[in-house]
Chains A and B, each alone.
Chain A
Amino acid sequence: GQQVMQIPQYQHVQEGEDFTTYCNSSTTLSNIQWYKQRPGGHPVFLIQLVKSGEVKKQKRLTFQFGEAKKNSSLHITATQTTDVGTYFCAVGVWGAGSYQLTFGKGTKLSVIP
């Protein structure tokens, strides 16, 4: 099945530092989604990228989709304690009449005040 590698697994940053998580696939992706899960919470949708080379911004968050549509990144500028959580990428795979969202293992972000 579709495999997606996400790195790093953990990241500890000082408040105010930047943070980046990467998602890589060996195959070309149709789209990629990003989710955030706060401690004790459930995954919450952040964004979906569809086009090659696409860049989208949400305040301090910047999402990129690679030109070859095989990788993606999420960059947070000047982290805050509210950014704490696990960030997941998820790729949609279409099969014979079926669709499955496959998640990366996630990057757990800790922000030290």
Chain B
Amino acid sequence: KAGVTQTPRYLIKTRGQQVTLSCSPISGHRSVSWYQQTPGQGLQFLFEYFSETQRNKGNFPGRFSGRQFSNSRSEMNVSTLELGDSALYLCASSFGQGVEAFFGQGTRLTVV
């Protein structure tokens, strides 16, 4: 079956702009989580959605938001981009809680 698909793979944005990233989970998976990965901080949890509801949110400012659609596809949005937002953004889907997570290839965001 198809894996987790993230689009776009690469993105370059200017400070102050906003960006929307997309994630299509594995068919049948209703849980989608987002992570920010940077060399210094590792993998940091952003938020988790299940059946269109945000169930959990990490310690990120309100500029980071997300949503999930009825087909389980998810988007995350970052407004007023800062240089420090440059990172690899990873989406992971899973069948439920406490089971293995399947990661997409990520979106590499560069803010200049």
Question: Residues of A at under 8 Å CB distance from B?
Answer: 1, 30-31, 33, 35, 41-45, 48, 88, 90, 92, 94-95, 97-106
Residue of A nearest to B40 (CB): A105
Q: Which of B39-55 contact A (CB under 8 A)?
A: 42-45, 48, 55
| A92 engages B42 (CB within 8 Å) | no
Question: How many chain B residues touch the partner (CB < 8 A)?
Answer: 23
B55-73: contact bitstring with A at CB < 8 Å (1 yes, 0 no)?
1101100000000000000
Are A100 and B42 neighbours in the complex by a CB distance under 8 Å? no
Residues of B within 8 A of A (CB): 33, 35, 42-45, 48, 55-56, 58-59, 90, 92, 97-106
A-B contact count (CB 8 A): 58
- Please list 24 pairs of residues, one from A and one from B, whose beta carbons are closer than 8 Å in the complex, sorted by A's number: A33-B100, A33-B101, A42-B104, A42-B106, A43-B43, A43-B90, A43-B92, A45-B100, A48-B99, A88-B43, A90-B101, A92-B98, A94-B97, A95-B56, A97-B55, A98-B55, A99-B48, A99-B56, A101-B33, A101-B45, A103-B44, A103-B45, A104-B42, A105-B42
